[in-house]
Homo-oligomer: A and B are copies of this chain.
């Protein structure tokens, strides 16, 4: 009988880390100066793939929930990292929710398999790297003076994403318009309530040079959102309303497009399917992010050639990024011809972890 040899399976490691934000970040409902994340590493035959979970507190995951989720996984049972369907379906069924924790595994797995194949994922997906969109730079809700200062700091970016809350929207836009004439996009984070008022505001924002509106009404307000989208002179993009693949089909007829974020949809594999589906259904595609390191940002950027808009500035808002990855040149995402998700480690700031 042939002697059984020990299987060489995947080894998962994870380390909590705290991102320091360059600015206190405010959106409809909260403000903060740090974001807790979890850095992951998948090892296989001497090769390491890197991933990350980002846990903005309002989304319900934390370093503790992510550690608890990851500790339940037995990835060592898998001896072929290319069995991505099998591995990620296993991860997905271990517990519901936990989408950022799941993305941390998915991203590391893509980095690993891309490295084994010796190719970046944008190449394995057959995308055209020059098709990457310009990325927007996000400005949180703040007083006029800080808004102006942040807008000036956004000089390298060609599109500015403005957070509105339904309270002092006019003041925010007017402040920004005193210092820049760049195109803007607006993220309301469900902050508006009345659809007719919302439509008036969209018309006003269009006059002010806004190019699209993200999640204007609460995600439950499906009929009102469909009405607004139907009448709106600007594309209306679903964000909070669109988490995973199963939400894409439902978005057709309600939103003009969807904002795909790896931390919502469990990672690159599901995001890739969401793009295929969205495109087939005639929906616009935006790729967004949380506050993240260059790891998750570079992972999302692999998909960005298929997006109409990208909002991949999460790493730019951070002062202690442990990785280097995609670059922004003249406001546009520049993909690196490096295997996997194309990142290199810089130095992890041990004090914050």
Contact = CB atoms under 8 A, between A and B. Distances in A.
Taking the full assembly, how many copies of this chain does it contain? 2
B276 A82 contact: no
Interface residues of A, number: 29
Interface string A246-266: 101100000000000000000
A123 interface: yes
A241 to B, nearest CB: 17
Contacts of A269: 126
A84 interface: yes
A127 B88 CA distance: 11
Given A118-B117, A119-B82, A280 B127 contact: no
A124 B117 contact: yes
A170 interface: no
Contacts of A118: 117-118
Chain A's interface: helix, strand, loop or mixed, by majority?
Answer: helix
A127 B276 contact: no
Contacts of A75: none
Nearest to A121: B124
The residue among A83, A116, A248 with the most chain B CB atoms within 10 A of its own CB is A83
Contacts of A84: 126
B86 A128 contact: yes
Nearest to A84: B126
B248 A280 contact: yes
B128 A280 contact: no
B249 A280 contact: yes
Given A117-B118, A276-B273, A276-B276, A281 B126 contact: no
A245 interface: yes
Given A117-B117, A118-B118, A119-B117, A85 B127 contact: yes
Nearest to A279: B273
Interface string A101-118: 000000000000100111
Nearest to A248: B280
A305 B86 CA distance: 11
A126 B83 contact: yes
A123 to B, nearest CB: 4
Nearest to A272: B276
Contact of A273 (B82, B246, B280): B280
Interface of A: 80, 82-86, 88, 113, 116-119, 123-124, 126-128, 131, 245-246, 248-249, 269, 273, 276-277, 280-281, 305
